[in-house]
């Protein structure tokens, strides 16, 4: 294997740090939609073959009633209550460190952390995220689901890039 697989959090947040508004509202994300602009997402997912997300995030995605966007990738949903597979994803309720260790030993592309806040927290607690790509959308939500939940310890990151867009979105990449 030429390059080690990375675990990458690629996510959007409001300026005040929320990934969803009240009642899982995501409508605010459309405030930066522009024809032909995907903020690097298509290029990012070309280098991803595995996705990890939390069960609440998966439930929200299913509620959209559209085709599952990760159907061509191996997808794990972290869950305390579900196990097995539903045909689209494998539910995982073991030690997340073991899952990441297993995935990093396998040949493959990067591992995409696709939310939500609880999944991000457990991965951060065990220092399992290699790269953070955070798109900050210029809106204040005031309340909702925070991207980063409180933890007992902090961590210093290194800014690798910062890109600004006409819509006001700012995309930060940290390692």
List the domain boundaries for the chain: 7-174
The pair of three-digit structure tokens given for residue 95, joined into one six-digit string = 């030690």
Q: How far is CA 22 from the centre of its chain?
A: 19
**Residue 1 confidence class, pLDDT cut points 50, 70, 90:** very low
Place of tokens 């998966």: 58
Residue 155 reports pLDDT greater than 80: yes
Asked if CATH classification 3.40.430.10 holds for the domain at 7-174, the reply, yes or no, is: yes
pLDDT digits (tens, 9 = 90+) for 74-119: 999 999 999 999 989 999 999 999 999 999 999 999 999 998 999 9
Three-state DSSP state, 144: coil
Residue 143 reports pLDDT greater than 80: yes
pLDDT digits (tens, 9 = 90+) for 37-88: 999 999 999 999 999 999 999 988 888 887 888 889 999 999 999 999 998 9
CA distances from 147 to 17, 24, 122, 168 (A): 6, 12, 12, 19
Residue 152 reports pLDDT greater than 90: no
Respond yes or no on whether the N-terminal peptide bond of residue 116 is cis (omega within 30° of 0): yes
pLDDT, residue 54, reads 93
Task: Give strand pairing partners of 172.
Answer: 134, 162
Tell me the CB-side half-sphere exposure of residue 56, using CA atoms within 13 A.
12
**Residue 3 confidence class, pLDDT cut points 50, 70, 90:** low
Place of tokens 């097995």: 84
pLDDT, residue 158, reads 97
The pair of three-digit structure tokens given for residue 130, joined into one six-digit string = 């290699």
What torsion do the CA atoms of 75, 78, 83, 84 make, to the nearest 10 degrees?
10
In terms of pTM, does the model score above 0.85? Answer: yes
């Amino acid at each position: 294997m030429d390059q080690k697989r990375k675990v990458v959090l690629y996510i959007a947040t409001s300026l005040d740090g929320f990934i969803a508004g009240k009642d899982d509202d995501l409508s605010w994300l459309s405030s930066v939609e522009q024809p032909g602009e995907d903020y690097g997402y298509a290029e990012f997912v070309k280098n991803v073959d595995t996705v990890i997300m939390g069960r609440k995030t998966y439930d929200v995605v299913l509620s959209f009633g559209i085709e599952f966007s990760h159907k061509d990738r191996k997808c794990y949903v972290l869950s305390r209550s579900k196990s097995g597979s539903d045909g689209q994803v494998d539910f995982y309720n073991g030690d997340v460190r073991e899952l990441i260790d297993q995935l990093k030993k396998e040949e493959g592309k990067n591992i995409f952390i696709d939310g939500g806040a609880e999944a991000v927290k457990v991965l951060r607690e065990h220092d399992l995220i290699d790269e953070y790509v955070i798109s900050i959308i210029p809106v204040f939500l005031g309340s909702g689901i925070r991207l980063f939940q409180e933890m007992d310890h902090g961590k210093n990151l290194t800014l690798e890039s910062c890109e600004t867009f006409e819509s006001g979105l700012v995309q930060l990449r940290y390692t």
